[in-house]
């Protein structure tokens, strides 16, 4: 699942403009005479007055090709949370941000809120879908990907959210409070947060090593986790999106969780890797230092806090440098939560008794 550029005829595009959520972009392209595919002019490779279509690979004569101009709108990713915060605070509702997760406080309860097209915390998206927490979305096509699997009664179009009246919005949110106590993901996140606050990095390392060792004796649960992501590869729950820099869609990279976790488990089983655990935020320099000093050995980095966008850039650069194979693995708080959710959080990250 990806969020394509919004077309000029996107419904209610004016609302997104008013909230400073999109930026106009004109793309000039040549239409292939064979298949009709629009090829962006600025990346077109011309040789001997011919260019090759990136879709069907057939050649077109440049002087007989018609240049088209398409108007699209790029979504300003970092402005999404600002818009949500402004909207809910206008209605007297408290907005809370914890890492990549956002919550709104209603009836004295913290309710998770997820944006389907830009969910950087996969555990939060799965939790929202299973427990019917509020989910906002931009594209109907992305909504349709999950409608046959989960109920869509708790989904709201982003423009409808921005345009909603206070009573309408509060009524929508109050319905979503019903399953708060059922959320296993929220319980795990609270446990990780408390553990990180009350214990040392050495305590964290002991628990993580115990968790990784337990994967070998929990083969059935591990298989269920891999099977889940295999079945959901083509819908939003099977792909983790990570931010690698700037403010636009081009700065988001997808991670196929089935492939990523499968390879990670293989690496952990073979012990052909070097590992480092961080109880604080993981930065690009941390990853580069570990990667460059372990030439030829795979690297697994585990963190109980958020990671910076530069971290994921190193992860993808290392993959490109190793023939498209995952080489540097980051288990951030989101992936750690997913593993605990599927394999079990009992005996992990509980209060350590003195």
Percent of the residues in the chain that have a pLDDT greater than 70, as a whole number: 94
Q: Which one of 74, 89, 105 terminates a domain?
A: 74
Is pLDDT at 155 greater than 80 in this prediction? yes
pLDDT digits (tens, 9 = 90+) for 90-120: 999 999 998 889 999 999 999 999 999 887 8
* pLDDT score at 354: 30
Question: pLDDT class for 3, splitting at 50, 70, 90?
Answer: low
* pLDDT score at 201: 81
Measure the CA–CA gap between 51 and 301, rounded to whole angstroms: 44
Does 102 lie in the same domain as 65? no
Does 274 lie in the same domain as 178? no
> Could you list the residue range(s) of the whole structural domain that residue 53 is in?
23-74
Measure the CA–CA gap between 193 and 309, rounded to whole angstroms: 21
Average per-residue pLDDT for the chain: 86
Does 328 lie in the same domain as 192? yes
53, part of any domain: yes
* pLDDT score at 152: 80
**Of 101, 110, 116, residue with least CA distance to 157:** 116
Question: Cβ contacts of residue 160 below 8 Å, gap of 6+?
Answer: none
Q: Decide: pTM greater than 0.85.
A: no
Question: pLDDT class for 214, splitting at 50, 70, 90?
Answer: confident
Better pLDDT: 3 or 345 = 345
Does 334 lie in the same domain as 308? yes
Does 172 lie in the same domain as 49? no
Residue 45 vs residues 36, 51, 53, 220, 289: alpha-carbon distances, Å: 17, 6, 9, 50, 37
Question: pLDDT class for 15, splitting at 50, 70, 90?
Answer: very high
Measure the CA–CA gap between 80 and 187, rounded to whole angstroms: 26
Does 308 lie in the same domain as 226? yes
Average pLDDT over residues 27-35: 89
Measure the CA–CA gap between 180 and 109, rounded to whole angstroms: 9
Buried b (16+ CB within 10 A) or exposed e, 110-134: ebbbbbbbbbbbbbbbbbbbbbbbb
The total number of structural domains in the chain stands at 3
CA angle 91, 94, 97 (to 5 degrees): 130
Q: Which one of 131, 149, 182 terminates a domain?
A: 182
43, part of any domain: yes
* pLDDT score at 250: 57
38, part of any domain: yes
Say if residues 287 and 328 touch (Cβ distance below 8 Å).
yes
Question: pLDDT class for 11, splitting at 50, 70, 90?
Answer: very high
Does 192 lie in the same domain as 112? no
Look at the block and give the residue holding tokens 């295999």. 230
Does 262 lie in the same domain as 150? no
pLDDT digits (tens, 9 = 90+) for 265-323: 988 887 667 778 776 788 888 888 888 887 777 888 888 777 888 899 899 998 988 88
14, part of any domain: no
Question: pLDDT class for 196, splitting at 50, 70, 90?
Answer: confident
Is pLDDT at 202 greater than 60 in this prediction? yes
Token readout for 144 is 């349709």
Look at the block and give the residue holding tokens 């809910």. 88
Look at the block and give the residue holding tokens 């997913």. 338
Does 320 lie in the same domain as 249? yes
Does 328 lie in the same domain as 253? yes
Residue 297 vs residues 48, 211, 294: alpha-carbon distances, Å: 45, 22, 5
Q: How many helices (H) and strands (E) in the chain?
A: 13, 17
* pLDDT score at 127: 94
Q: Which one of 126, 154, 182 terminates a domain?
A: 182
307, part of any domain: yes
pLDDT digits (tens, 9 = 90+) for 309-346: 889 989 999 898 888 999 999 999 899 999 999 987 66
Say if residues 184 and 341 touch (Cβ distance below 8 Å).
yes
Is pLDDT at 40 greater than 50 in this prediction? yes
Measure the CA–CA gap between 322 and 344, rounded to whole angstroms: 33
Question: pLDDT class for 218, splitting at 50, 70, 90?
Answer: confident
């Amino acid at each position: 699942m990806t969020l394509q550029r919004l077309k000029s005829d996107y419904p209610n595009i004016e609302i997104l403009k008013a909230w400073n959520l999109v930026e106009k972009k004109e793309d000039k392209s040549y239409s292939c005479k064979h298949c009709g595919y629009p090829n962006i002019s600025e990346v077109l490779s011309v040789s001997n007055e011919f260019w090759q279509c990136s879709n069907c690979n057939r050649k077109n004569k440049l002087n007989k090709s018609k240049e088209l101009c398409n108007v699209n709108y790029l979504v300003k990713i970092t402005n999404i949370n600002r818009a949500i915060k402004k909207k809910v605070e206008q209605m007297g509702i408290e907005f809370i941000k914890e890492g990549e997760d956002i919550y709104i406080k209603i009836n004295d309860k913290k309710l998770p809120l997820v944006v389907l097209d830009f969910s950087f915390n996969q555990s939060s998206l799965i939790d929202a879908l299973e427990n019917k927490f509020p989910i906002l979305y931009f594209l109907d096509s992305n909504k349709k990907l999950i409608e046959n699997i989960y109920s869509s009664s708790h989904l709201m179009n982003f423009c409808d959210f921005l345009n909603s009246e206070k009573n309408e919005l509060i009524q929508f949110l109050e319905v979503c409070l019903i399953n708060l106590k059922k959320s296993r993901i929220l319980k795990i996140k609270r446990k990780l947060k408390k553990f990180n606050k009350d214990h040392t990095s050495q305590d964290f390392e002991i628990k993580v090593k115990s968790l990784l060792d337990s994967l070998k004796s929990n083969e059935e649960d591990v298989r269920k986790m891999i099977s889940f992501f295999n079945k959901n590869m083509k819908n939003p729950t099977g792909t983790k999106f990570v931010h690698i820099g700037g403010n636009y869609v081009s700065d988001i990279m997808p991670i196929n969780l089935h492939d990523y976790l499968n390879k990670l488990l293989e690496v952990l089983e073979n012990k052909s890797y070097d590992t480092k655990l961080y109880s604080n935020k993981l930065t690009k320099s941390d990853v580069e230092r570990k990667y460059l000093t372990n030439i030829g050995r795979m690297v697994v980095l585990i963190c109980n806090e958020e990671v910076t966008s530069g971290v994921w850039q190193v992860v993808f650069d290392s993959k490109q440098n190793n023939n498209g194979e995952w080489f540097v693995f980051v288990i951030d708080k989101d992936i750690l939560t997913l593993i605990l959710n599927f394999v079990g959080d009992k005996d992990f990250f509980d209060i350590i008794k003195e």
